Amino acid sequence: MRYSRLFIPTLRDRPRGVRSRAHELLVRGGYLRSIGQGLFSFLPLGLRVVRNVERLLREQMDLLGGLEVSVPVVSPSEVWKKSGRFETVGRDMVVFTDRVGRTLVLSPTHEEAVIELVRDGIKSYRDLPAFFYQIQTKFRDEARPRYGLVRAREFVMKDGYSFHRTFAELNNFFPKVFSAYAQFFARCDLDVIPAEAGVGYIGGDKAYEFLVSSDLGEDTVIVCDACGYAANGDVARGATETCPAELLPIAEVVTPGCHGTARVSDFLGIPRSVIAKTLVFRAARGYVMAVVRGDHEISEEKLSRVIGSPVLGPADRDALAGLGLIPEYLSPIGLDSDVVGLDLNMIIVLDRIAADTPNLVFAGNETDLHYLNVNIGRDFEVETVADIARVTGGRSCSQCGGRLREQKALELGHIFRLGDRFSRSMELFVHTDTGERLYPYMGSYGIGIGRVIAAVVDSHNDPDGIIWPAELAPYRCYLMAIGPSAAANRIAESLADELGDDVLFDDRRESISTKFKDSDMVGCPYRIVVTGETSTTGEVELYDRRTRLTRRVARDDVRGQVGLAKPRGEKNGV
C-alpha cells in the first residue's frame, strides 16, 4: 500500500490530555483519534491492527470448534430480568426505552442473548456440546474512562459461550480454552499472568483472568514467586494467621467523637489489627453485615460467594437508619433481634482471621461507645465465619508458605465456569433419551481487543515509537527509496508490487528524516531502504525495528529475510 493513498496523520509532539505511553503512541502514530471521553475512532492503520488481533482470535476459537455468530448489541430487558441480572449489573449497563415504551438494554455481555439464540436450535442432549463466539462492539457506561483503549466506554470484544451436557464435560473444555488463550497471548508477544479471579456479576463458581503487569492496570494480582500461585486480590487466599493471647475481660469505654479505625486507634493507642471494622452491604435478599480486622479490607467478591448472591454495594445512611443502626458505630454486638431476624433480613459474616484474633475492640452500636477485649464465642456468636478479607502483599502463601507480593496488572481476558445457573434461571433445557430435562452447563470466555492492543504498545515501544510484533503489525515492512536515483525508485516500485499487502511504501516527496521518523513512529517490524548505491549491487538496506540493527541483504532475499512465505508458484526456485 502506498503511503500517499492512506490517511496516516502522525504527530511529532505529545497530544494534550493523554495519560499513558500507549495512548500517546497510538495517537502520534496515526492509529487512533478520540471523539469524546472514552470514545475512539480507529484510523486505517489502527483498523488493520484490530483485524490482525481478530484473525488470531478466530484461528484459536476455530481450533476449539467454535462457530462464529453475531447477536444484537441491544437486548430486551425481559431476558436480563429472567436471568436475575437486571438489578445486579449496576450503572455500567445502559438501559433505555424505545418509542413504544419497551425497556431495552445495551448489553455489556451476552450470556442472555446467546441462550435465546440457541433456545430453538438445541433440543436434544445429542446437540451438545456446542461452542459459539462473536467479535462485537460493546458499550459500558464507565464512570472513569481513561488511559485510551484501556478503559474505553465503547470497545471491541471477543466473547464466547459454550454449552455442555455435564459438569465434567464443561470442566474438561475449560482448560482447553485456557490453553487457547495462553497461545493467543503468546502470539501477541505478551507475557501474561493467569490468575484466579472473581466472578462478579457474570456469575459462576470458577474464573481466571489473564493479566499483564502494567502501571495502567486497575487490578492488583497477588503472586507467590516461590510456587507460582497467582490470584486477583479480590479472591486471593493467604495462610491462616493465629494470634494466641490470654483472653481479657470485656469492658466498655467511652470514645467521644471516635468513629473509624484510625481515630479509635489513635485515641486508645492500639494498632488497627486489634480493632474490628464493620460494614453493611446491600444484597439481593436483604442486607449483610461484614466484619474484618481494622488492618484488612473486605472483599465483596468473597462476601458474595459466602452469601450465595451478589453484593450490591454498601448500604447508604438512610438504609442504615431504617435498620436502626448508627453508621459511625456499626457493630454485631447489641443488635436488636428483629434486625438479624426475619423482619429486616440481615445476616452477619465474620472474617476468619478476625474470629481467631483475641481481645478485639468493637463499636457498641451506640454513639461514643466501644467495647474492649471482645472475644467471639464468649461475648457474642455469629453463624457464619468465612474468609472475606482481601489479601495483601507480605502475607504467607496458603499453598507453600512463601511470601506473597502485590503486582499492579491490567486485565486482558477472563474465562468463567458458569455451571447451570443461567440455563436454569432462563429455562434452557434439552431432553435426554428418557425424556428428562437436562439443563446445559455453560462457560463464558471474553477478551478485550482494545486492551490487548494497548498492552502490546505499552510493552513494545522505545523513545522513537511503537515496535509491533510481526503478527499484529499493520504492515510487515516499511519501504522507501531515498536519493535521486531512478534505478532505486524502480527497484522500490518493484518491491512494493512484489510484497503487496505486506508492505507500506512511503512514496511521499518528503525529507529522509521525516520518512525515518514516521517509519519509527508507525513501528512496522522491518524497514527496507533502497538507495542509489544498493541499486547497483542488487541489495537493499534492511533495518530491524526491534534490534535497531541495519544490514544489507540481496534484493531477491527480502521476502525470506522478513519472514514472509514465497508467493505461490515460486517454490524451489520455480
- Alpha-carbon span 235 to 518, nearest angstrom: 45
May I ask the CATH class of domain 251-386? alpha beta
Residue 228 Cα distances to 155, 214, 225, 240, 324, angstroms: 32, 19, 5, 19, 47
Residue 342 — pLDDT band, cuts 50, 70, 90? very low
pLDDT at residue 356 is higher than 70: yes
Place of cell 524502480: 490
CATH-assigned architecture of domain 3-218+405-457:
2-Layer Sandwich (3.30)
- Alpha-carbon span 84 to 74, nearest angstrom: 17
Q: Write out the E strands in 387-518.
A: 404-419, 430-431, 437-438, 441-448, 461-462, 465-466, 477-481, 503-505
What pLDDT, on the 0 to 100 scale, is given for residue 339?
Answer: 60
What pLDDT, on the 0 to 100 scale, is given for residue 570?
Answer: 52
- Alpha-carbon span 523 to 306, nearest angstrom: 49
Q: Where are the domains of the chain?
A: 3-218+405-457, 251-386, 475-573
What pLDDT, on the 0 to 100 scale, is given for residue 346?
Answer: 85
Residue 216 Cα distances to 31, 211, 405, 457, 462, angstroms: 19, 11, 18, 12, 17
pLDDT at residue 68 is higher than 60: yes
- Alpha-carbon span 437 to 418, nearest angstrom: 19
- Alpha-carbon span 483 to 544, nearest angstrom: 21
* CATH code given to domain 475-573: 3.40.50.800
- Top pLDDT among 144 and 5 is at 5
- Residues 507-536 have a mean pLDDT of 94
pLDDT at residue 406 is higher than 90: yes
- Top pLDDT among 4 and 285 is at 4
Q: Is 333 exposed, middle or buried (0-12, 13-18, 19+ CB in 10 A)?
A: middle
The fraction of the chain above a pLDDT of 70, given in percent, is: 97
pLDDT at residue 203 is higher than 80: no
Residue 17 Cα distances to 25, 26, 143, 153, 194, angstroms: 13, 13, 17, 17, 32
Stated pTM of the model: 0.88
Per-residue DSSP letter, 239:
-
Lowest mean pLDDT among 103-112, 175-184, 239-248, 362-371: 239-248
- The residues facing 343 across adjacent strands are none
Domain 3-218+405-457 identical in fold to domain 475-573? no
- Residues 165-187 have a mean pLDDT of 96
Q: What is the mean pLDDT of the chain?
A: 91
What pLDDT, on the 0 to 100 scale, is given for residue 568?
Answer: 47
- Residues 318-336 have a mean pLDDT of 87
Give the pLDDT confidence of 541-573 residue by residue, as tens digits: 999 999 999 999 999 999 999 988 765 455 444
